[in-house]
A and B are shown apart, each in its own frame.
Chain A
C-alpha cells in the first residue's frame, strides 16, 4: 500500500509534467491541425533557460529559495515563449496554406535544428544540478515520503490549469482562440486577428512547456539537450489519449501516461516503460481514435 501510494505520487507529478507539455500539442493541433514536432524541443529549451537562470541568479547572490524559484519560473516562461513565437513565425506561418506535409517536415527540421543549437551552445554533456528544494514531506509515519519538489509540481500545475481554464473560457482571447479552432476563415471575417491568435497559442503552449521543463529540472536534477524528443512523443501520446483538441483531455491523458509509467517502472521494471507508453498510444488510436474526451471527427468528402 505504501509502495502503491509512493508510485501514485510519482506518477501524478510525472503526469502533471506530461500534461503541461501535452496542452501545447493539443492547442496547436486544434487550431492549425498540425503536429508541432518542435514542441518537445521547446520544453527542453525551457529546462535549459531555467537552469541558466538559476546559475545566473546564484552568481548574482540571490539565495532565498522562493524568490529564486519565482525568478526561474518567470524567466523560463518568458524566454521560452519567445522561442515558441519565433518558431511559429519562421517555420510554420509561411506554410499555413501549403500541403499538410510541408509544416510537419518543417517542424521536424526545426526540432533537429533546436536540438543541435542547444548542443552546440551548451555542450552535449548532461547538466547536473544540486537539489534546490531538498526535503521530503513524510506521510503515514514515514512510510510514504513526498519530496517538496513533486508536491510543488502538482500544486503549480493545478494552479496553472485553473488559470488556463479561466483564460480559455472567460477572456476575449480565449473566445477568439476557440473561434479560430472552429473556423479560422469565419473568425477572421468577424474581426479576429487569426495570425495573432495562432501566435499567442504558440506562446501559451511554450510557456506551459517551460514550466514542465523547469519542473523536470527540479525533480530529476539533470537535463541534457536530448530530453525533448522522448518527452515530446510521450506528451503527444498523452494529447492523443485525452483526445486531440481537448484541454482537459490533454491533462487527463498526461496523468494517465504518467501513472502508467510510474506503476510500470515500480512493478514491472523501468526498461520497458517506454514500450508500455507507445503501446498505449497504438491501442488508443486503434480502439478509440478520438481519445478519452475527444469529439468524433467527421470525415468530409
Chain B
C-alpha cells in the first residue's frame, strides 16, 4: 500500500494540524469527554454481566474491565489528538514504551497488561504511519487520489496478475502443500469469490443493491438437494436445473420490485430473502424444516466414475479408472477444480458481457437511470436480466454448496450470508473483479485463519466492515476505468473514482 490505513479525519483536523503548538487543555478535555462517553457505554453492559444462577438470573460486577476501557479510550484519544498536532514521534516512543512495559514487566492484573499492550500497540502503529508518510500534510482529497492511482495500477496489473493467480489456483492442489485443510479453505474462498462475482453483476454492474442474494443460493442448494432426494437425479443433471430454477425465482422476485429504487429495493430484497428462509424452515413436510436435508449425494466424475472406494453398481471407481491409488483427497481436489471452473465461468461472463450491449446498458443504468430511460433502454428488462443471471450463478454456487456439504439446512442461508457477500462486493470496490478476490481473502480468509478466536471472529468482522468503509468509502480497489471511451480513448480519461 502506498498510503497508510486510518479512519478519515474529523472535519476540524486540518486546522488543528497546521496549528503550531500543542493545545494541551483542549486535547485533554477532548480525551476526557471520550472517556466519559466510554464510561456511559461500558457501565451497564461491560461492567455488569448477567450470569445464570440456579436461582435464576444473577448479576456480576466487573469494574476492572470498565476502568481498563476508560484508560484505553482516554489514552487513545489523547494519543490521536497529539498525533494530529504534529507530536507523532514522541507519541510513538511513549506508546512503544507502554507496550514494551506491558509485555515485559509483571503486572498485577491481566487486564492492565492488555490495556498497555493493546493500546500502546494501536497508537504506536498509527503514530508510526504518520511519521513514516507525513500523512498530516496530505488532505483527504490527496489521499483519495493516491489510493485511486494505486487501485488503477492494480487494475491494470490485473491483466498479468489475473492469469498468474488462476494458474496458481489451478496448480495448488497438485503441489505437496495441498492438504485437506488448505483445499477446504480454498474451496470456501472460491465459493465466496464466485458468489461475490455473481452478486457483482447486480450490484457492481447494474447498480442494484441486493440484500437478499442468499435466497438464490438457497434456491440452488435446495433445488439440487430436493431433486436428488425425491427423484434421484444426479448432480450433473441438477446443476443446470438448479441454475434455471434460481434464475426463474430471480425473475419472479425481481419482476414486482424492480421499479423500486435504492434503499427500498434493498429492503424488499432483504424481505424476500427472509421469506424464502422462513418457507424453508416452516414447510417441513417438503424441505425437512429446520433439520434440513442430509445425505445429499456427492458428485461423480462427470457421471463416469465415482470417488468412493467401492462405487455403486454400474459405476467405475475413479482411482481404478485412472490407475491411481485410492485417496479420499481425490474428491476434494475434484470439488476444488469444479468450483474454480464455476467461478471462472462467472468471471469470464462478466468480463465479456461488459463489451456487449447488455453489459453496456447495465453500466449505463448504474450511472443514470433516467437518462437510460430517455435513450430508450428498457430498464425493467435490463434489470431483470441482471437479476436473473446473477441469480443463476447464485444457484450454481448453491448446488455446489449442497453437494460439497452433503447436508443443508436453513441455518446456512441467513441474512448474515447475504451481508457477507455484499460486504465482499462493496469492500472490494463495486464492479471490480479483482477487488472481489482481495475482499474475499480479507473477509473470509482472515477469519478462517483465526478460527480459534471463534467468538471474536464476527465481532472483528463487523468492526472491520465499518473500518474499511471509513477508510475507503468506495471500496478497496474502487478505481473504475470507463469501459468505452469517445475517440477510442486517445484523450486521457478522467478516472471515474477520482470524480468528486
Contacts and interface: CB of A to CB of B under 8 A. Distances in A.
Interface in A31-82: 33-35, 45, 48-49, 51-53, 55-56, 58-59, 75, 78-79, 82
Given A79-B43, A237-B271, A117 B459 contact: yes
A100 B422 contact: no
A105 B427 contact: yes
B44 A53 contact: yes
Interface residues of B, number: 62
Interface residues of A, number: 73
Contact of A94 (B7, B270, B415): B7
Interface stretch (B48-56, B241-249, B309-317): B48-56
B129 interface: no
A131 interface: no
Interface string B59-100: 100000000000000000000000000000000000000000
Interface stretch (B226-234, B318-326, B396-404, B467-475): B467-475
A101 B466 contact: no
A279 to B, nearest CB: 7
Contact of A105 (B52, B279, B423): B423
Contacts of B46: 121
B7 A101 contact: no
A83 B46 CA distance: 13
Contacts, number: 189
Nearest to B279: A275
Interface in A126-149: 127-130
Nearest to A239: B267
Interface in B463-485: 463-466, 469-470, 473-474
A82 B49 CA distance: 19
B462 A112 contact: yes
Interface stretch (A175-183, A246-254, A282-290): A282-290
Contacts of B426: 101-102, 105
A229 B275 CA distance: 14
Interface string A81-94: 01101100011001
* Max count, chain A CB within 10 A of own CB: residue among B56, B256, B259, B263: B263
A104 B466 CA distance: 10
B50 A109 contact: no
Given A49-B45, A86-B37, A236-B267, A274 B274 contact: yes
A265 interface: no
B45 A122 contact: yes
Contacts of A110: 462, 466
A6 interface: no
Contacts of B466: 90-91, 106, 109-110, 113
Contacts of A48: 44-45
A127 B274 contact: no
B476 to A, nearest CB: 12
B458 A45 contact: no
Contacts of A301: 370-371
Interface in A147-188: none
A52 B44 contact: yes
Given A51-B50, A237-B271, A240-B267, A56 B474 contact: no
Contacts of A59: 59
A55 B57 contact: yes
A111 B461 CA distance: 11
A275 B283 CA distance: 12
30 contacts: A35-B267, A55-B50, A56-B48, A56-B59, A58-B59, A59-B59, A75-B44, A82-B41, A86-B41, A91-B466, A100-B262, A101-B209, A101-B430, A102-B474, A104-B209, A105-B423, A106-B470, A108-B465, A109-B466, A111-B462, A112-B462, A115-B462, A116-B462, A120-B455, A127-B57, A233-B267, A282-B271, A285-B257, A285-B264, A286-B259
Interface of B: 7-8, 10, 37, 40-41, 43-46, 48-52, 56-59, 209, 256-257, 259-260, 262-264, 266-268, 270-272, 274-275, 278-279, 282, 370-371, 415-416, 419, 422-423, 426-427, 430, 455-456, 458-459, 461-466, 469-470, 473-474
Given A91-B469, A94-B8, A281-B268, 14 more contacts: A35-B266, A48-B45, A51-B50, A52-B59, A78-B40, A99-B473, A122-B45, A122-B50, A123-B49, A127-B57, A240-B264, A282-B257, A282-B272, A301-B370
Interface of A: 29, 33-35, 45, 48-49, 51-53, 55-56, 58-59, 75, 78-79, 82-83, 85-86, 90-91, 94-95, 98-106, 108-123, 125, 127-130, 229, 233, 236-237, 240, 271-272, 274-275, 278-279, 281-282, 285-286, 289, 299, 301
